[in-house]
């Protein structure tokens, strides 16, 4: 039986109830959505007492399902003003699931606005809320060190922490999750959920799973058979079996640059002339020279192993190393073509606790204002120091790209629903523009990763330069992604799932064997549709309309080199993406939250 564990910060009480039967098929994203949809008023202040912060492992969290240990973090977003599911790797999801927790909900707000709290969930199922003001002001790394020092003989636990940005309620504050080696370097980065945690005065959550094994299954033999089938597919596919483990996600830098869709200097060009200095190939070369780790999983049970550590010139750990999106945002989008400089910025973002994508986009916008030259890495690092200190400028940067662009009079502010665009320009890669425009999450590449068929020839091909077929491609991927997020899978499994039918079968076979319920293709797709439906209806009640499902105007009327193209997908096509919502809502018996 899975439970919903509630920590009420208003009266510091702890309660636990079974996950309601109506949500028995929900985990991860679908479960955070259901709780936010049902319990958080759409008009709630995101950093007020009525918002709730929900942590949920996927339905297959706590099992040996390959790459099944992702964590969904949900709330009303301080950045977008809509519903948010921010997804992280790290060890916390499995640990929560092994404790029998389907969702951890932090609600209310303490009367004492100077207090900082640590929530401890123990392996015996008990939980406590401990006041520890000494953690206030610490970065994520120092916070993690302080938590470690207080754990005595307990060796196996996961941490969830915020840095100074979350404490200061900045709108792009992130939540850090510890990785298998204990580094607080995996992030629920997008949408400012670190500010929600900060508003509840929760500095850290410690989840102890020492001595706890994987969960039991309804049908153990069938589960193990499906696990084997799934793992084989992930190893067999050239992307998940070879490219990702060898080069990490930043293997994308060269191919997206080649396609002309690598946003450079605040989305003013589709190619970066210094890409060779920050590519996945270059990162691997540097890391190997310095004796760094070039291949590991971000959570136990990962068989793809795309994570790595970037080390400094003396071979010491600097940061996780680094993801494609982070290298792009802090590199190309700011005109910075130096891997060590990018890693320094990545480390600062991680310690301060801000989203690397939003931060890079924000600095790019700031540079576009003329206040700082493109390519000035030292200046960029100083800006992050302003954020850490919470100066007036630091608060503007900490509130993200839109706040910065408005404050400094920038014409081209690349955001949708107030959230910065990721590392693919939607003019030469039109499918991703559909996802950016229509996603319930604001501009988010992971929500419907059309780069697969648009550029990478995974799951078929759709010409990236033409508007035809993009809406259908994005819609299918948005539904599939919401499903994977709800089961707890890393979305990179999709590369294999889209090409290998056995991998897709293995997903519903694992779900059925674990839960004892009937799962098939239709049930998986229904799960994705239901999650998106709750998100969509919530956003409508929070005030979003079709006008919010559009890209910023400059993508429609400023051509991008080298292909000199603009975004040409019609409004009608964009509005078709959520065509399934009304019918799904009727089937679920829900209307507005």
Partner 1 sequence: MLVEVALFAHLTPYLPEAGAGGTTGSPHARTIDLPDGTTVGQVIARLELPDEPRIVFVGGRHAADDHVLAAGERLAIFPPVAGG
Residues that bind partner 1 (CB under 8 A): 237-239, 242-244, 246-252, 254-255, 258-260, 273, 276, 280-281, 306, 323-325, 423, 445-446, 449, 451-452, 455-458, 461, 463, 465, 491-492, 495, 562-563
Distance in Å, CB of 463 to partner 1, minimum? 7
DSSP 426-490: TTTSHHHHHHHHH-TTSS-GGGS-THIIIII--SS---TTSSTTHHHHHHHHHHHHHHHHHHT--
Tokens of 337: 């073509």
Return the H-helix or E-strand segment holding 403: helix 401-407
Distance in Å, CB of 429 to partner 1, minimum? 11
Alpha-carbon span 518 to 182, nearest angstrom: 37
Alpha-carbon span 322 to 463, nearest angstrom: 29
Query: Considering beta carbons, is residue 102 or 191 the nearer one to partner 1?
Result: 191
Query: Considering beta carbons, is residue 230 or 247 the nearer one to partner 1?
Result: 247
Distance in Å, CB of 271 to partner 1, minimum? 8
Query: Considering beta carbons, is residue 77 or 446 the nearer one to partner 1?
Result: 446
Distance in Å, CB of 97 to partner 1, minimum? 25
Whose CA is closest to 161, among 109, 62, 88, 94?
88
Q: 3-state DSSP call for residue 404?
A: helix
DSSP 532-581: HHHHHHHHHHTT--GGGSS--THHHHS-BTTTTB-----HHHHHHTTTTH
Could you tell me if 512 and 222 are in contact, meaning their C-beta atoms sit under 8 angstroms apart? Answer: yes
Distance in Å, CB of 116 to partner 1, minimum? 35
Query: Considering beta carbons, is residue 212 or 465 the nearer one to partner 1?
Result: 465
Query: Considering beta carbons, is residue 414 or 422 the nearer one to partner 1?
Result: 422
Query: Considering beta carbons, is residue 206 or 244 the nearer one to partner 1?
Result: 244
Distance in Å, CB of 252 to partner 1, minimum? 4
Matching residue, tokens 């293709």 = 521
Distance in Å, CB of 430 to partner 1, minimum? 14
Rg of the chain (C-alpha set): 22
Beta strand pairing status for 53-57 and 101-107? antiparallel
Query: Considering beta carbons, is residue 319 or 452 the nearer one to partner 1?
Result: 452
Query: Considering beta carbons, is residue 468 or 517 the nearer one to partner 1?
Result: 468
Distance in Å, CB of 451 to partner 1, minimum? 6
Tokens of 518: 């009937």
Could you tell me if 445 and 451 are in contact, meaning their C-beta atoms sit under 8 angstroms apart? Answer: yes
Q: 3-state DSSP call for residue 76?
A: strand
Distance in Å, CB of 496 to partner 1, minimum? 10
Distance in Å, CB of 255 to partner 1, minimum? 5
Query: Considering beta carbons, is residue 19 or 491 the nearer one to partner 1?
Result: 491
Using alpha carbons, list the distances in angstroms from residue 446 to 60, 162, 173, 272, 374: 20, 23, 19, 23, 27
Distance in Å, CB of 396 to partner 1, minimum? 29
Distance in Å, CB of 16 to partner 1, minimum? 36
Tokens of 72: 């969904």
Question: Would you say how long the chain is, in residues?
Answer: 593
Torsions phi, psi for 4 (to 5 deg): -110, 115
Query: Considering beta carbons, is residue 62 or 331 the nearer one to partner 1?
Result: 331
Could you tell me if 483 and 438 are in contact, meaning their C-beta atoms sit under 8 angstroms apart? Answer: no
DSSP 165-216: HHHTT-TTB-EEE--TTS-S-EEE-TTSHHHHHHHTTEEEEEEE-TT--PPP
Distance in Å, CB of 295 to partner 1, minimum? 14
Instruction: Return all residues near 547 (Cβ < 8 A) that are at least 6 apart.
Output: none
Query: Considering beta carbons, is residue 197 or 434 the nearer one to partner 1?
Result: 434
CA 435 remoteness from chain centre: 15
Distance in Å, CB of 444 to partner 1, minimum? 11
Q: Can you say whether the dihedral through the CA atoms of 461, 464, 466, 472 is positive or negative? A: positive
Distance in Å, CB of 254 to partner 1, minimum? 5
Query: Considering beta carbons, is residue 133 or 564 the nearer one to partner 1?
Result: 564
Query: Considering beta carbons, is residue 119 or 239 the nearer one to partner 1?
Result: 239
Could you tell me if 296 and 183 are in contact, meaning their C-beta atoms sit under 8 angstroms apart? Answer: no
Tokens of 197: 């945690």
Query: Considering beta carbons, is residue 71 or 458 the nearer one to partner 1?
Result: 458
Alpha-carbon span 67 to 233, nearest angstrom: 12
Query: Considering beta carbons, is residue 67 or 143 the nearer one to partner 1?
Result: 67
Query: Is the bond preceding residue 562 a cis peptide, omega within 30 degrees?
Result: yes
Q: 3-state DSSP call for residue 324?
A: helix
Paired residues of 244 in beta bridges: none
Torsions phi, psi for 164 (to 5 deg): -60, -30
């Amino acid at each position: 039986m899975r439970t919903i564990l509630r920590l009420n910060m208003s009266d510091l009480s702890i309660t636990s109830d079974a996950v309601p039967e109506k949500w028995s098929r929900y985990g991860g994203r679908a479960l955070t959505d259901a709780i936010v949809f049902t319990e958080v008023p759409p008009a709630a202040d995101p950093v007020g007492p009525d918002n709730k912060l929900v942590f949920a492992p996927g339905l297959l969290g706590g099992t040996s399902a390959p790459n099944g240990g992702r964590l969904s973090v949900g709330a009303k977003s301080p950045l977008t003003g809509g519903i948010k599911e921010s997804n992280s790797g790290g060890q916390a999801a499995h640990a929560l699931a092994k404790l029998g927790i389907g969702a951890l909900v932090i609600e209310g707000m303490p009367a004492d606005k100077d207090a900082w709290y640590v929530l401890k969930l123990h392996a015996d199922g008990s939980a406590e809320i401990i006041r520890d003001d000494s953690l206030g002001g610490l970065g994520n790394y120092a916070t993690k060190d302080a938590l470690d020092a207080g754990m005595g003989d307990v060796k196996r636990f996961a941490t969830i922490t915020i840095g100074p940005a979350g404490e200061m309620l900045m709108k792009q504050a992130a939540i850090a999750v510890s990785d298998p080696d204990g580094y607080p370097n995996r992030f629920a980065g997008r949408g400012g959920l670190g500010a929600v945690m900060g508003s509840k005065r929760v500095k850290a959550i410690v989840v102890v799973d020492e001595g706890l094994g994987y969960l039991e299954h309804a049908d153990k033999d069938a589960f193990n058979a499906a696990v084997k089938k799934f793992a084989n597919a992930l190893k067999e596919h050239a992307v998940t079996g070879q490219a990702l483990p060898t080069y990490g996600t930043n293997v994308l830098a060269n191919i997206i640059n080649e396609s002309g869709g690598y946003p450079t200097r605040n989305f003013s060009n589709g190619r970066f002339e210094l890409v060779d200095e920050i590519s996945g190939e270059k990162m691997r070369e540097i890391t190997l020279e310095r004796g760094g780790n070039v291949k590991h999983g971000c959570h136990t049970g990962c068989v793809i192993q795309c994570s790595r550590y970037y080390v400094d010139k003396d071979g010491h750990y600097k940061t996780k190393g680094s993801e494609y999106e982070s290298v792009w945002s802090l590199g190309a989008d700011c005109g910075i073509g130096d891997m060590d400089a990018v890693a320094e910025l990545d480390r600062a973002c991680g310690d301060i606790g801000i989203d690397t994508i939003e931060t890079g986009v924000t600095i790019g916008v700031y540079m576009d204002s003329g206040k700082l030259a493109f390519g000035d890495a030292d200046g960029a690092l100083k800006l992050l120091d302003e954020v850490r200190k919470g100066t007036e400028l630091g608060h503007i940067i900490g509130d993200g790209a839109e706040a910065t662009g408005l404050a400094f009079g920038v014409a081209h502010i690349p955001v949708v629903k107030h959230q910065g665009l990721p590392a693919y320009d939607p003019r030469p890669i039109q499918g991703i523009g559909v996802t950016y425009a229509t996603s319930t999450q604001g501009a988010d590449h992971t929500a419907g990763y059309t780069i697969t068929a648009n550029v990478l020839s995974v799951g078929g091909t759709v010409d990236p330069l033409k508007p035809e077929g993009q809406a259908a491609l994005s819609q299918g991927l948005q539904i599939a992604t919401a499903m994977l997020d709800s089961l707890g899978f890393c979305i990179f499994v999709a590369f294999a799932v889209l090409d290998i039918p056995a991998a897709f079968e293995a997903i519903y076979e694992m779900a059925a064997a674990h839960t004892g319920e009937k799962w098939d293709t239709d049930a998986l797709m229904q799960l994705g549709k239901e999650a998106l439906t709750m998100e969509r209806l919530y956003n409508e009640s929070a005030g979003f309309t079709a006008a919010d499902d559009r890209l910023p105007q400059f993508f429609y009327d400023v051509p991008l080199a080298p292909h000199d193209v603009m975004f040409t997908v019609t409004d009608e096509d964009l509005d078709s993406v959520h065509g399934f919502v009304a019918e799904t809502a009727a089937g679920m018996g829900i209307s507005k939250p």
